[in-house]
Structure 1
Amino acid sequence: MSQKNEMPALVLALLLTVGVLGAGFWWLMPKAGIKLGSQLTTQENTSVDDRISQGERSLVQAESKADNPVFVQAKQAGIQAMAAKQYGEATAQFQLALQSARNAPETAIYLNNAYIGTKRSHTIAVAVPIGSDPNGSLEILRGVAQAQLEFNTIRQAIPLKVVITNDDNNPNTAQQIANTLVEMPDVLGVIGHYASDVTLAAGNVYNAGGLVSISPISSTVKLSGFGKYIFRTVPSDYVAARALADYAIKRLQQKKAVVFFNSQSAYSQSLKAEFVTAIALSGGQVSAEFDLSAPNFSAAQAVNQALKQEAQLLMLAANTGTLDQALQVVQINQRRLSLVGGDDVYAPKTLEVGGRQAEGMVLAVPWHIDGNLKSAFPRQSRQLWGGDVNWRTATAYDATKALAVAIARNPTRSGVQQALTAPDFAAAGASEPVRFLPSGDRSVGIQLVKVAPGKRFGSGIDFVPLAW
C-alpha cells in the first residue's frame, strides 16, 4: 500500500472504531427517550424457552437498560404482572412505561398483548436477531407493533397476539426456534427471519411443519419458490441488481464495473451474482470481484486495481458484517469512480463515516420514507415512535398486515397459506398493497436512493429518493 493511501485508511479505521457508537436507533431521533447500549453478544447456550416471550420476560436489553428509571421500573413491573397473568396491572404498567419513553417496540407489543389478556385472539410470532443486531431487531419490532396496534383497534377483528423470539441471527438457533413454533398450535404464522442464510435454514422447518413464514428482510434469490409456506415482503436481489445495472448503463453510461461482496453471506453472494448477470445482459462487464471478508482484503489495493483496469463503477454488495470494509472502499475511492450498492449499505454509518466521499452513491432499497408522499404510514409512524423509521420497519409492518389479513380470512395454518396465495389477496402496506407471486416473492418494485446534501441526519448529507 502506498503511503498516500495509508493515511486515509488509518483515519477511517479510527472513525469506524469510535465514531459510530452514538448512532442509537438508526433513523429515530434522540428525543425518543431510550438510548441503545453496546452491541450484545450471541449466547448459543441460552435455552429456547428463554428466547421466547409474549410479555413474561424482556428480551431486548436495550429497553431493559434504558437511561430512564421510570420506564425501566414500570416495564419490569409490567413483565412481572404478565408472568403472574395479572393483565390489568400489566396493562397499567406498560402504559406508564410508554408514557415515559414511547420508542420502545418490545414494550408496545407487550402492552398490546396485555390488553388482550384472556380474550379470544390469534397468535403470530416474530423472529429477530436481538443478540447480534439489536438495532435491526428494534426496527422490525416497530413495524410489527404498529401493525398489531392498528389491526387490534378494528372492533370487528379478533385481536392479534405477538410472540417475540430471539434467534441471534444464527441458523442453528433459528431452526430450534422454528421447531418450537411449529409445535405451538396457537401460532398461525411467523414474521422472519433476518439474514438470508438464517431464513433458508428455518424455512426448511416451516415447510415441513406447514407453518407460514414471511421474511421482511431476506432478499436472496434462493428464497424464490423455496416452498409453499415461505414468503417475503422485501424485493429479491434479482429486482435490486437489475435496477442498479439499468441505472449504471442507461443513466450513468458506464458499462465496466468491479464488485465488492462477502463470500460468507448468502445475501451478498446473491446480490453480487445477480448484478454480474444484469450488467452482462445490458452489454457491460464486471472486470473484477473483491471479497470483503478475505483476511488479506485491502481497500487501497482493490481500488487501485479497479483504476488500472479502467473500471468506471464500484458496486458494493456488502452485508452488515462487512459494511466497515465497504466504507473503506468509499473513502479511498475519493469519488473517482461512481458508486452503487445494496440495501445493507443504506445505514447512518454510511453517511457518518463515508461523509462527502459517499455523495453521489446510488443504492437500491425496498422503501424510503419519502418515496410515496401520499402514504399515511410515515406520518403515523412518526406519531407513534417520535421519529423517522427505515425500510425494515416498513417491510415488517407489511408482513404483519399480510398475516393479519390472511388469518382473518381463514384462521388455520393451511388457511393462511391458501389466503396468501389466492389471486385476489391484498393487504394495505406502508406504501402500496401487499400481494404475492406464486414463488412467494412480493409483487413490488425497488426504490433507488442517492446520497446527496440533506439535513435530516445533521451530517449534511442524506439518502434522497431518486426518480428516473
Structure 2
Amino acid sequence: MSNSNELTRWEKIVGLVFAGIIMAVLITFIFSPPQEVNNLTAVIISFFIAAAAGYSGYLFSGKIEGVLPFSKAVIKASGASATFLIVFILTLNFLQDYKQPTDFDRDDVEPLSPTPEVSLSFGDSYFLKAGGSAQALELKESAVENFSRYLAGKGDNFDGLYLAQEEFERYLGDYRSASADSEISGEQITPNPNDPEARIYLNNVLTEIKAQNAERQVLKLVVAVPIAVDPDFSAEVLRGIAQAQYELLQSPEILKGALLEVGIADDKDDAEVAKELARKVANPESSIIATVGHYSTNLTKEVLDIYNTNKKILISPTATGIELSRDDISYFFRTATSDAVAAKQLAEHIQTYGIDIGNISVAYVYGDSYGESLSKSFFGNKRPASQCDLGKRGYNAQNDCVDPAVQNDANAFLLIPSSNDIVDEAIDIITAIGEEIKLLGGDSLYQPEIGQTAIIAEQASASRLTIAIPWHRKGCNSLNDNDNFEQLACDLWAGNNISWRSATAYDAVQVVTKAISDEYDESELESITPDASKLADRMRDPEFNAVGATGTISFLGTGDRKDTEEIGVLVQFKVVEESGEESRVSSPETVEKYDFVQI
C-alpha cells in the first residue's frame, strides 16, 4: 500500500523544472551579475522564483492534513497561494532595487559618463578646417586668436579687434587694399571666400566695432550644426546664417539699429551634447535670443522640452519629421516644410508614371525618426512592395534591398538616408538598381555625391531620381531682379554655392529679426533684450509673416510652417545643357554635366 504523502510522478517532474530554473538564476547572478535589472526581467524572474516557492508550499501543506479542519485540496491551494504571493512581492522589490554590488561608494567616484563638453564659439575658436591652403588656414587661426584676445579682454584690446578684421578680410578675399592674393610670412595666400564660419566671425568683429562706435545694443543668436560629423551640410546651413547677418550689417534699419552676433555650436549629431547645449543657451539667465537648429529630427526632438520649459526659442531650418508637430510646444518653429508636404509631392509625382504607392519599395535606417516619418507619410495605410534597413550590420545593397524589390515587382524605390554617413548605402542602391525602376528620395539625398562618378550620375539620371526639397537655386546666370537672396549669394560665396539648407537657415534669421522688429521700437532696442515669450507669441500670431529666400513665412499653432505654393519643390537629377556655368555636380569621368533641375 502506497503512502499518501509520497510525491506523484508529475510532482517530481515539476519540482525538477523549478529547481533547474532557480539554479540557472543563481548561477547567473553569481558568475555574471548584471549591472541592474529592468522591470520586465524583474517580473519574469520573480514569477518563476515565487512559483517554485509556491510549489514548495503546496507540497509542505499536504503534510499537515488533519491538523486544520479543511480538506487536503484547500490546504494545499492556500499554502501554495500564500507562499507564491509573499515570495513574489519580496523578490520583485529586491530585483527592482538591485544594482551590482561593489566594494566602494559610487557617489565618491567620477561618473562613468561625464557631462559632455559643448563647443560654442562667437569667434574665439573655430571648427571648419577644410577648403583652403595651409597658409590660408594659418591666417584664419591668427584672426581667431586676435579676436579671442579681444573677447577675453572684455573689449579693451582694440588693436586685436582691428587686426582680426584685417586678417578675416584677407582670408575671405574682402580686403580692398589687397590684390586677389594676400600675403603672410612672405607667401602668397589664395583667399577662401566660401568659408561661412570665417564670414560669421568677420561679421561679429564688425558688429563689435559698430557697437563701440555707435553704442548700439548687440543681440546674440546661436546656430547648432553637426560640424564634426557633417561639415559640408553644416557649411550649407552656416552660409544662410552668415548671409542674413551680413545683410543686417549693411542695413541696420532692419533690426531698428540693433546688431546681431552669431555663435556657432558643434552638436556633433549627439543627443547628449545637444541637451547640454540646450541647458546652457536656454537657461533663464542666458542672453541668447534664439537658437537655430538642430540639423536632424532625432536631435531636435531630444531638446524640445528643454527649450519649451525654459521659454527659449528653437527654430530649425532642416528638421522635417512629423513627430515634431506638437500642440503642447510653444517655443519651437521650423522654416523647412514637414515630411507630410514632401511625401504628398513625391506621391503625386510618381503617380504620373501610373505607379501605385503599393508597388514602391523603401530603404531607410530602422528606428531613425526622419526615415520613419517620411516613409509613414508617403505610404500611409499602404504596405510598401519591400523595405530594407540602410543601417543594418553587414548591409548589402543587392541582397538586402534590390533583390527583394525586384522579386516583389516594385516599379519605384524611395531612398531615405538619415545622415551623411548613410548616404553611401543609398547610393549603392542607385548603382545596383535597373533603370526601369524609378527612384525617389528624401531631402537628405540632395548632395553632390550623386554626381561624383559617371556610373552613379548616369544611373541616377536614367532612373529619373526625383527628390522633394523646400527650395531650389536658379543659378547665377538665370536670376532676375527679384532674386535678392541668390544675387547676394553669388557675390558672397564665389558662385552659387548654396542649397535649400542655406535658404531655410537664412529664413530662420529673417523670422527672428522680423518678430523683434514687430514687437520693439528703436528706443526699446537700445537697452532691452527681447523677451522670448513675446517673440514666440508674435511668431504664432496668424497675422505674422516674414519674407525670406523661400517666400513668405508664417506658422501654424504647432510651429510648422504654413504650406504655400512658394515652398516645396521637386528636383530631378538629369543631364543639363551647357549654360556657361559649371554644374555643381558634374562628373569628372564624363563630358556630360549632371545636376538637380527643378521640375
Q: Percent identity?
A: 29
Which of 358, 363, 368 is 2:472 aligned to? 368
Which letter maps to 1:375? D
Match of 1:352 in 2: 452
Match of 1:381 in 2: 489
For 1:6-155, list aligned pairs within 5 A: 48=117, 51-62=119-130, 68=136, 71-72=139-140, 74-83=142-151, 84=153, 85=155, 86=157, 87-99=161-173, 100-117=191-208, 118=212, 119-155=216-252
Matches within 5 A, 1:164-175: 164-175=264-275
- Choose the corresponding residue for 2:508, options 386, 391, 399: 399
Mark the CA change 1:139 to 1:45 in structure 2 (over 3 Å): closer, same or farther: farther
Find the residue that maps to 1:458 and give its secondary structure. Answer: coil
Determine helix, strand or coil for the equivalent of 1:438.
coil
Letter in 1 for 2:316: S
What amino acid is the match of 2:460?
A
Residue type of the alignment partner of 2:299: V
Alignment of 1:121-270 (within 5 A): 121-156=218-253, 157=256, 158-183=258-283, 184-225=285-326, 227-249=329-351, 251-255=352-356, 256-270=359-373
TM-score (norm 1): 0.84
Q: CA deviation at 1:295?
A: 1.6
The number of residues matched between the two structures is 416
Deviation (angstroms), 1:185: 2.6
What TM-score do the two structures reach when normalised by structure 2?
0.66
Closer, same or farther: CA 215–383 of 1 in aligned 2, 3 Å: same
**CA gap 1:400/1:155 in 2 versus in 1, 3 angstroms:** closer
- C-alpha change, 1:421 and 1:207, in structure 2 (3 Å) is same
Aligned-pair CA distance for 1:45 = 7.4
Report how far residue 447 of structure 1 moved. 0.8
CA distance in 2 between partners of 1:160 and 1:72 (Å):
22
Counterpart CA distance in 2 for 1:271 and 1:314 is 13
1:323-362 maps to which residues of 2 (within 5 A)? 323-353=423-453, 354-359=456-461, 360-362=464-466
Could you say if the C-alpha distance between residues 176 and 63 of structure 1 is closer, same or farther in structure 2, counting changes exceeding 3 Å? farther
Q: CA deviation at 1:336?
A: 2.4
Higher RCO (Cα < 8 Å, 6 or more apart)? 1
Matched, 1:465 2:568: no
What secondary structure is seen at the aligned counterpart in 1 of 2:380?
helix
Amino acid at match of 2:371: S
**Distance (Å, rounded) in 2 between the aligned partners of 1:209 and 1:69:** 39
Letter in structure 1 aligned against 2:375: K
Residue of structure 2 in register with 1:307 after alignment:
406
Secondary structure of the 1:297 match is coil
State the partner residue of 1:19.
none
Corresponding residue SS for 2:546: coil
Whether the aligned pair in 2 keeps the contact of 1:74 and 1:97 (CA below 8 Å) is no
Structure 2 CA distance for partners of 1:244 and 1:325, relative to 1, 3 Å: same
Cα contact 2:219–2:260 (8 A) shared by 1:
yes
**Gap change, CA 1:69 and 1:254, over 3 Å in 2:** closer
Q: Deviations for 1:256-287, whole angstroms, at most 9, x for unmatched residues? A: 11111111421111111111118x4xxxx522
- Structure 2 portions without partners, runs of 5+: 1-112, 174-190, 520-529, 577-581, 588-592
Partners of 1:97 and 1:449 in 2: CA distance = 35
| Counterpart residue number, 1:6 | none
Q: Distance in 1 between matches of 2:424 and 2:363?
A: 12
Aligned to 2:48: none
Task: Judge conservation of contact 1:160–1:404 (CA < 8 Å) in 2.
Answer: no
Task: Give 1:59 deviation, angstroms.
Answer: 2.8
Output one character per residue of 1:273-313: Cα deviation in whole Å (capped at 9) or x when no partner.
111118x4xxxx52211111112433212222212221111
Q: What SS class does the counterpart of residue 387 from structure 1 fall into? A: coil
- Contact 1:262-1:291 within 8 A present in 2 as well: yes
SS at match of 1:62: coil
> SS state of the match for residue 386, structure 2?
strand
Distance in 1 between the 2:192 and 2:339 partners? Answer: 37
Could you say if the C-alpha distance between residues 127 and 242 of structure 1 is closer, same or farther in structure 2, counting changes exceeding 3 Å? same
SS at match of 2:170: helix
Query: Between Structure 1 and Structure 2, whose CA radius of gyration is higher?
Result: 2
Q: In structure 2, how many angstroms separate the alpha carbons of the residues matched to 1:437 and 1:232?
A: 10
Q: Rate the CA distance shift 1:335–1:193 in 2: closer, same or farther, 3 A.
A: same
1:390 equivalent in alignment to 2:491: no
Would you say 1:436 and 2:510 are equivalent positions?
Answer: no
In the alignment, what sits opposite 2:43? none
- 2:391 is aligned to 293
CA contact (8 A) 2:132 2:192 kept: no
Task: Indicate the SS of the match to 2:452.
Answer: helix
Partner of 2:539: 420
> Deviations for 1:24-63, whole angstroms, at most 9, x for unmatched residues?
xxxxxxxxxxxxxxxxxxxx979645x1111122233337
| Separation in structure 2 between the aligned mates of residue 112 and residue 405 of structure 1, nearest angstrom | 20
Conserved 8 A contact 1:78-1:92: no
| 146-155 or 73-82, which deviates more | 73-82
- How large is the Cα RMSD of the aligned pairs? 2.2
Post-superposition Cα deviations, 1:418-452, rounded to whole Å, max 9, x if no partner, equal: 12111221212113112111111112342100111
Which of 546, 571, 590 is the aligned partner of 1:449? 571
- Is 1:264–1:293's contact at 8 Å kept on the other side of the alignment? no
Q: Go from structure 1 to structure 2 and tell me whether the alpha carbon gap of 1:392 and 1:334 turns closer, same or farther (over 3 Å shift).
A: same
| 1:26 corresponding residue in structure 2 | none
C-alpha distance in 2, partners of 1:293/1:47? 25
Q: Is the 8 A contact 2:555 2:561 kept in 1?
A: yes
Residue 147 of structure 2 contacts residue 205 of structure 2 at CA under 8 Å; is this kept in 1? no
Aligned-residue offset at 1:191: 0.4
Q: Tell me, in whole angstroms, the C-alpha distance in 2 between the residues paired with 1:72 and 1:442.
A: 37
Q: Does the Cα contact within 8 Å between 2:282 and 2:307 map onto a contact in 1?
A: yes
- After superposition, give the CA deviation of every residue in 1:1-33 in whole Å (9 maximum; x if it has no partner): xxxxxxxxxxxxxxxxxxxxxxxxxxxxxxxxx
5+ long unaligned stretches in structure 1:
1-43
CA contact (8 A) 1:70 1:97 kept: no
Alpha-carbon offset, residue 144 of structure 1: 0.5
1:74/1:96 contact within 8 Å kept: no
Q: Deviations over 1:389-438 (max 9, x none)?
A: 11111110011111111122332111110121112212121131121111
Between 185-194 and 296-305, the greater mean CA deviation after superposition:
296-305
Q: 2-side partners of 1:93 and 1:304: how far apart?
A: 56
- The answer (yes or no) to whether the contact 1:139–1:393 under 8 Å persists in 2 is yes
